[in-house]
Amino acid sequence: MVTLPLEFSPEIATARADGAPVVALESTIITHGMPFPQNVETAALVEAEVRAHGAVPATIAVMQGKLHIGLSEAQLDALGQAQGVAKLSRADLAACIAAGGTGATTVAATMICARAAGIEVFATGGIGGVHRGAETSFDISADLMELAQTPVTVVAAGAKAILDLPKTLEVLETQGVPVISYRQDDFPAFWSRSSGLKAPLRMDSAAQIAAAHRMRATLGLPGGQLVANPIPPEAEIPRAEIMPVVEAALAEAEAQGISAKAVTPFLLQRIFELTGGRSLSANIALVLSNARLAAAIAAELARMR
């Protein structure tokens, strides 16, 4: 057997020794989800937000074959500026580490790494899902199947309207993933507070979410939970405004034959350009809000230990 080359930052090593609450953060949002320099600025703000709410942030990435749990400021900066960083999902992770490579982890890969590091809560922006036209393209993000098998509670602002949201909820239900809207009945749609669809579950406190996480393990069920936290009202882009932009970006992706792993980054970049950066301000606000909720859930879980 080879051992996993886990590399804990000093801050995370201390937090682990103390049993302090830790929140995992992904790195694909930095390399493929936002432009430089806002990506690096946001990563630092999100880490600060987690600390301000009583938990320790662990940004996760693969660098030169090491699985880093917690990055230094210099490492975050380097990752945020690097060109052509690999996007690692479940399928790519082992090959990248074994080859001594560097890559950013998606939601699926970050969940796998968080579990390996004993971290139970993870904050991000939006998860991948079922793409529109999946009935012909079969493009369904590995994030959904990861939620069904890896025991990490993921806090996101729902899924983007670039996806087919009804089909995304159907797959999550089929896979047995608890989808929990936070303090509202509707499933949120990333930039907008509502998708127009009801979420299967609703919870109103971090303690409730932590208790459900523990009970899932007690029942012997594999998998995690998806907590869908609506964007703060003041940062919301109403559906009527964002939908035409989403449609335009989707039409361009189709015309240019964008496929597979390139689809999500292409759409995010085009929507950023077409909204004159407004989509990015909304994205930053919702990630910060998710960081706060994830810190509160991690604190509850630490208290229950």
> Annotated catalytic sites, by residue?
26, 160
Query: Closest approach of Cβ 92 to Mn ion, in Å?
Result: 12
Which member of 139, 143, 146, 300 binds Mn ion (CB under 5 A)? 139
Task: Name which of 89 and 192 has its Cβ closer to ligand PSU.
Answer: 89
Which region among 12-20, 27-35, 271-279, 288-296 touches ligand PSU (by CB under 6 A)? Answer: 27-35
Q: Is 33 in the site for ligand PSU (CB under 6 A)?
A: yes
From ligand PSU, Mn ion, none, interface partner of 57 (C-beta below 5 to 8 A by class): none
Task: Name which of 128 and 224 has its Cβ closer to ligand PSU.
Answer: 128
From Mn ion, ligand PSU, none, interface partner of 28 (C-beta below 5 to 8 A by class): ligand PSU
Task: Name which of 9 and 141 has its Cβ closer to ligand PSU.
Answer: 141
Q: Is 146 in the site for Mn ion (CB under 5 A)?
A: no
Question: What's the CA gap between 272 and 247, in Å, rounded?
Answer: 13
Task: Report 256-275 residues binding Mn ion (CB under 5 A).
Answer: none
Which region among 9-17, 59-67, 137-145, 285-293 touches ligand PSU (by CB under 6 A)? Answer: 137-145
- Paired with 267 in beta bridges are none
Task: Name which of 293 and 302 has its Cβ closer to ligand PSU.
Answer: 293
| Contact between residue 282 and residue 237 where contact means Cβ atoms under 8 Å apart | yes
Task: Report 42-81 residues binding ligand PSU (CB under 6 A).
Answer: none
Query: Closest approach of Cβ 78 to ligand PSU, in Å?
Result: 19
